[in-house]
Chain A
């Protein structure tokens, strides 16, 4: 008898993972947020009916995982209704939240609506740093909400983005997740995306910090195996081969931005030359199968050298398009993480530059640019804004 087979992504790509970015409104201001820096220009949020139509169409195509994300999805008053409909359609429903805007009554209401899982983000293991990074007095509330999530028997994921200002806390962070009885812990380092790109000098962990963090994460993985699953995402900028970003462009992931723009990845909004098909104008099936955007970097035919003739191109599909664009100015280039890329050395030099400067008092005290609509508006209007 054949045993289990991991989900494989052969010839027929399907939007198995639907990420519903319900809003870019958020009470937190994390300076590494993955939302687009130009989020202020995303106005006119989809209505409840729009979202229901999107969920129905994607489900028909085979979507099973549905993430309610943002911004802060709790801002949406219709969240309970959306969860209820999603569950009725057969989705596994994930709520990806900061916990701010949640209370016991809402946790109960979500349970009644059929919510399957709650993921809460923490910014640090202590109140002071957590509240500073999040730009909001949220630590105690998050802690309380995490306890309630477990009280109501949801599987709970705790997500902590690691960066130079908190990575030294890794042990305390993991102890906190044990105290909160998390089922899964996701630790991912800041990379060159979204808001973290503009704060990268202040946020990029040093190589030494990352090596230490990895050791601690491995130690806890061993200690907690069978009790808690710790997912430690190793940042790839010290590597020589890129990751197969999003498991391939237009292969599994479908993101819908608050205004209805459909994207193959939540960070892809920054790429030039995309048309951003909107779910108000097109069905999901056309967007996924036919739209120029979803076919733009699908498979390998879009590649140029060094990817085109590379015998490893099917392994990583050229890496991350956003990282290629942000670091080389051309989204069709190889991800510069790859040592076959002519830009590989420049990336390493940039990482080394930050590595050298870290710890320097003047350098470290440079202000962070927090993620909020005011700063976003500044970037959207002027394109080259100074730190505020």
Chain B
């Protein structure tokens, strides 16, 4: 499964998944029926910004600012492919 990740696309978390910060784990997690995936710090930074309002370019810009102007575009697009492939996110219609 692949997705054409254009800058203006707005993504949302599929409602059967939940993303939240876990204090004890010290990371963001994706929760689903009877399961949990721990996210790396960078994956967490992306997933927490997917809210059905921000476009992909908004997310890239936002994260780049957070990480002192780093070039994060390719990494973010790669992760979004993974998240899409896992069925966590979809394009907001």
Contacts and interface: CB of A to CB of B under 8 A. Distances in A.
Nearest to B43: A4
Interface stretch (A59-67, A72-80, A261-269, A326-334): A59-67
Given A1-B42, A6-B38, A94 B78 contact: no
A94 B37 contact: no
Nearest to A91: B31
Interface SS, B side? mixed
Given A92-B18, A155-B16, A62 B24 contact: yes
A94 B34 contact: yes
Given A1-B42, A5-B40, A64-B22, A226 B1 contact: yes
A64 B31 contact: yes
Interface in B8-30: 15-16, 18, 20, 22, 24-25, 29-30
A157 B35 CA distance: 12
B34 A157 contact: yes
Most buried by A among B18, B33, B79, B83: B33
A153 B17 CA distance: 12
Nearest to B25: A62
A343 interface: no
B36 A153 contact: no
A116 B31 contact: yes
A230 B43 CA distance: 27
Contacts of A116: 18, 31, 33
A359 interface: no
A69 B40 CA distance: 32
Given A2-B42, A3-B78, A226-B87, A119 B33 contact: yes
B43 A7 contact: no
A227 to B, nearest CB: 10
Contacts of A3: 40, 43, 78-79, 82
B39 interface: yes
Most buried by B among A4, A14, A183: A4
A232 interface: no
Contacts of B42: 1-2
A97 B24 CA distance: 29
Interface in A5-53: 5-8, 14, 16-17
A90 interface: yes
A147 interface: no
B82 A94 contact: no
B41 to A, nearest CB: 8
17 contacts: A1-B75, A2-B40, A4-B37, A4-B40, A4-B82, A4-B86, A16-B36, A60-B24, A61-B24, A62-B22, A62-B24, A62-B25, A64-B36, A90-B20, A116-B18, A116-B31, A157-B34
Q: Which 10 pairs, one residue from A and one from B, show the smallest C-beta to C-beta distance? A: A62-B24, A1-B75, A155-B16, A92-B31, A2-B40, A117-B33, A1-B42, A7-B38, A155-B33, A157-B33
